[in-house]
Structure 1
Amino acid sequence: MSKDSTSSGLGSEYNPLDSPQLENPHPFLARARREEPVFFSPLLGSWVVTRHADISAVVADTARFSSAESITVGAATMPREVVTTLMDGYPLVPSLVDNDPPAHTRFRGLVSKAFTGRRLAEKEPFIRALVDELISAFIQEGRADLFLRFAHPLSSSIIAEILGIPRADISRFRRWSDELSTVLAAHGPVEHQVACARGVVDFQRYLAAALEERKTSPREDLLSDIITEGQGMTPPMSMAELVSLLMQVHFAGHETTAGLIVGAVELLLNNPEQLHALRDNPALTAGAVEEAVRMVSPVHAMFRTAREDVELGGIPIPKGAHIRLVYASANRDEHRFHEPECFDIRRPDVKKHLAFGQGLHFCIGAPLARLEARLALEALLRRLPGLRLVPGQKPGFLKSVTVRRHESLEVTWDAPGLDGLARP
């Protein structure tokens, strides 16, 4: 089957960066699994794979499918003005998620120590204190945007603590992350993309300066570990490699977790029987987090490149073709999960999900994401009685080719006012 023949089918309708698929991609993805589980998207210049079995097979087969360009496939369509602007900074070189062995192994080794069970246990008191600090800042208001006031500051502050970034700079990092998403997606007006590219260059320069400072004044943080160990490798890692690695760690370390927390709260508030079960038995929180990971799938999709002519789902894929693996679709595949559209915090088959990837590229930060989400849910349900969604809201979503998360989520609860009465 050729690109021309497939582009006249579902491929011509596929647009995950715009409405209505941006807000709710699942009806289209369910249709794709039934009618055309592998199709070509002219918009993305990629073959799109939607079934769990096919996606799992691709991820496991590193010999035939490369992770190179797994997050930068949109770079091929970057406007010339954007490319020129990015030349003022460091090259966007492959590092962690967009790399293959043996180079991938070098990069993974640099950051893996920061996410061991021992390191996370050491950080748990800090995370608990931060969760309570954030909630205390708005608990008396009776209403808040859970993304802006809680989930994003929480995940941003935690990855900043691990990296060694001052909390005063976190707001800049949030802006830079949004700008990096826009550049990688190559989406929107050219003028906006160019402005975002300038932000990416600023991001790179900040990280390079921090690494240079750690050369002479090392601290107990990941920035110091990376510059020290990176320079000691044979051959030593370049500044471009280290900066690219840190950009990936920062982006993955907070965008996806913030999306998971907000998505988990929304799922619970939209499923009151599950919420009541969790309130009655907090021991179910870990299962609730895992089920939320499956249904939210913060890493919505990732790319691979075919190293040779291959066949997926009975469709021939040519050598060199880009392949979009839609994890969010795999995680709701009817052939893998019983009643996949049902949110069930006791789901027995939940561990079959691919939300953290699998194999060589299994998410290095998965234990941290699970810990953050568990502590966040426990505290929110404990401290915000009557927690519920504000009706009628239409939260926006980040426009990204890899990550899908809310940009806001308005919630309210029974908070006592200054007069001692509950606020509406």
Structure 2
Amino acid sequence: MSKTHASPGLGPEYHPLASPQLEQPHPFLARARREEPVFFSPALGSWVVTRHADISAVVADAARFSSAESITVGSATMPPEVLSVLMGGYPLVPSLVDNDPPAHTRFRGLVSKAFTGRRLTESEPFIRSLIDELIHSFKNEGRTDLFLRFAHPLSSGIIAEILGIPRTDIHRFRRWSDDLSTVLAAHGSVEHQVACARGVVDFQRYLASALEERKTAPREDLFTDIVTGGQGMAPPMSMAELVSLLMQVHFAGHETTAGLIVGAVELLLTHPDQLQALRDDPSLIAGAVEEAVRMVSPVHAMFRTALEDVEIGGVPIPKGAHIRIVYASANRDEARFHEPDRFDVRRPDIKKHLAFGQGLHFCIGAPLARLEARLALESLLRSLPGLRLVPGQKPGFLRSVTVRRHESLEVAWDVPAP
């Protein structure tokens, strides 16, 4: 796809997976909203949409904008060596996030009961106990990497419990999750992408083996629910479809929530007035989580494909074009939010954010993410007196076309004398 404008515009300057935009995406996105809200990115081979109103219109119009390839930059960008390795596993078929009705409805129905209000209520004691266990493991140290020691093991432990993954295997899933991010982003050297593709195939084989086991030895877990429900459909779901679904549920279920928790802590520790407001009035915790979701936007962006010639924000987009909808930009749009770069746990217009998507693809795990983040913040602030950021650190960020989260965040606190 080539850009037809006479001027190249902002497109050649857009490099979301490279510094400095990887670490600081918002200055460029704010400029885009002012100067060229819809532009073509040669690096991604996609049109990029940055304004709240335009993004909301796109995600609400499933008839003209398909969710196919919504989590990739397009299979055409994958090196043939990577595609060759992936052929040794199961096809990366559309399932939940990257699908359209009516197929999307079948997949959503398979996992929806795992995230009902009743299931969340049943899960809360486990979540609280895991939070306490993790904090206890480093509480007397006075300093830790909050992502590696708390946020990631918490979110991955919870989704592992829901799926039915043994906790002893969680470390493997973290590596496989990073491999999947690299393959979907088509980022890095070909050698690195090939190594990550091998990890994705290992991931698929693990999931397929677990599903086969549940066929003869069912348990009270999502693996069992999915394989039983999938077999009962007409036509029955293939193993490739079930594996792709589980890969998406696992990735979305922990990467984004870990990013939200770490991002929320960073926001609170860099805004002492808001932290004090939360300490003075703990009932503000739900608002703090919601504002953190808006500011952090763990699902940084998604993709859509134009099913016909369309216009977005007055810009003509050809049929078949790949479109990157940047939720993180929508959530900082000056036309939608008052002082959008200000972190405010009492923000009155907070419900306008798109951090969990909208419409058909509204995040099925949003209630779980909110619950995890609320319980995590409550316990961290209660258990770690004087919690603060370690000065001078430069935390890295995951290189992903859809998810943005810290790779580390060093924090310190006061340890009482023995």
Per the normalisation by structure 1, the TM-score is 0.98
Match of 1:137 in 2: 137
Q: Give 1:76 shift.
A: 1.6
* Matches of 2:339 and 2:5, distance apart in 1: 33
Find the counterpart in structure 1 of residue 251 from structure 2. Answer: 251
Q: Is contact 1:68–1:305 with CA below 8 Å preserved after alignment? A: yes
Q: CA deviation at 1:72?
A: 2.4
Aligned ranges for residues 202-213 of structure 1 at < 5 Å? Answer: 202-213=202-213
State whether structure 2 residue 140 is matched by structure 1 residue 153: no
User: Percent identity at matched positions?
Assistant: 86
Cα–Cα, structure 1 residues 87 and 7, in superposed 2: closer, same or farther, change >3 Å? farther
CA distance in 2, matches of 1:152, 1:4: 43
* Equivalent residues of 1:7, 1:40 under 8 A apart: no
Partner of 1:92: 92
Partner of 2:301: 301
Structure 2: how far apart are the matches of 1:265 and 1:7?
Answer: 42
1: CA distance, partners of 2:363 / 2:270: 28
1:60 equivalent in alignment to 2:60: yes
In the alignment, structure 1 residue 289 sits paired with structure 2 residue 289: yes
What is the CA distance between 1:6 and its match in structure 2?
Answer: 6.8
Q: Deviations over 1:27-55 (max 9, x none)?
A: 00000000000000000000000000000
Q: Which residue of the partner structure matches residue 81 of structure 1?
A: 81
Query: Does the 8 Å CA contact 1:7/1:41 hold for their aligned counterparts?
Result: no
Listed as ranges, the matches of 1:263-282 within 5 Å are: 263-282=263-282
Cα distance in 2 for partners of 1:398, 1:266 equals: 16
Opposite residue 300 of structure 1, the aligned amino acid is: H
Which residue number corresponds to residue 218 of structure 1?
A: 218
Q: 1:8 Cα deviation (Å)?
A: 1.7
Matches within 5 A, 1:170-185: 170-185=170-185
Question: Is contact 1:259-1:405 (8 Å) kept?
Answer: yes
How far does residue 270 in structure 1 lie from its aligned partner after superposition?
A: 0.3
Aligned runs of 1:16-95 on 2, under 5 Å?
A: 16-95=16-95
> Relative to structure 1, is the Cα distance of residues 161 and 22 closer, same or farther in structure 2, using a 3 angstrom cutoff?
same
Amino acid at match of 1:233: M
Structure 2: tracts of 5 or more residues without a match: none
- Is 1:333–2:338 an aligned residue pair? no
CA shift, 1:275, in A, is 0.2
1:117 match: 117
Shift of 1:415: 1.3
Shift in Å, 1:389 = 0.1
The residue identity in structure 1 corresponding to 2:315 is: I
| Letter paired with 2:212 | E
CA contact (8 A) 1:15 1:21 kept: yes
TM-aligned CA deviation for residue 4 of structure 1: 4.4
Deviations for 1:376-424, whole angstroms, at most 9, x for unmatched residues? 000000000000000000000000000000000000000125xx3xxxx
Determine helix, strand or coil for the equivalent of 2:140.
Answer: helix
CA RMSD of aligned residues (A): 0.8
Give the structure 1 partner of residue 371 of structure 2.
Answer: 371
Cα distance in structure 1, aligned partners of 2:364 and 2:230: 18
Give the distance between the partners of 2:6 and 2:43, measured in 1 at CA.
Answer: 12
Q: Which runs of 4+ in 1 moved over 6 A?
A: none
Q: SS where residue 59 of structure 1 aligns?
A: helix
1:166 corresponding residue in structure 2: 166
Q: State the AA in 2 paired with 1:259.
A: G
Count of residues paired in the alignment = 417
Gaps of 5+ in 1: none
Return the alpha-carbon distance in structure 1 between the equivalents of residues 233 and 396 of structure 2: 43
Q: Could you say which residue in structure 2 is the equivalent of 1:13? A: 13
- DSSP 3-state at the match of 1:233: coil
State how far apart, in whole Å, the 2-side matches of 1:151 and 1:122 are: 21
SS in 2 for 1:347: coil
Aligned partners of 2:72 and 2:401 also within 8 Å: no
Contact 1:6 1:39 in 2 (8 A): no
Map 1:312-331; keep pairs closer than 5 Å: 312-331=312-331
In the other structure, the counterpart of 1:103 is 103
The equivalent of 1:197 in structure 2 is 197
1:392 and 1:339 mapped to 2: Cα distance? Answer: 28
- Describe the superposition over 1:93-124 as per-residue Cα deviations: whole angstroms up to 9, x where unpaired: 00000000000000000000000000000000
Q: Partners of 1:78 and 1:6 in 2: how far apart?
A: 29
TM-aligned CA deviation for residue 282 of structure 1: 0.8
1:68/1:99 contact within 8 Å kept: yes
Aligned to 1:278, the other structure's residue is in SS state: helix
In the TM superposition, residue 5 of structure 1 has moved relative to its aligned partner by 2.7
Q: Could you give the per-residue CA deviations for residues 228-283 of structure 1, whole angstroms, max 9, x where no partner exists?
A: 11001000000000000000000000000000000000000000000000011111
Contact 2:68 2:304 in 1 (8 A): yes
Offset of residue 68 of structure 1 = 0.6
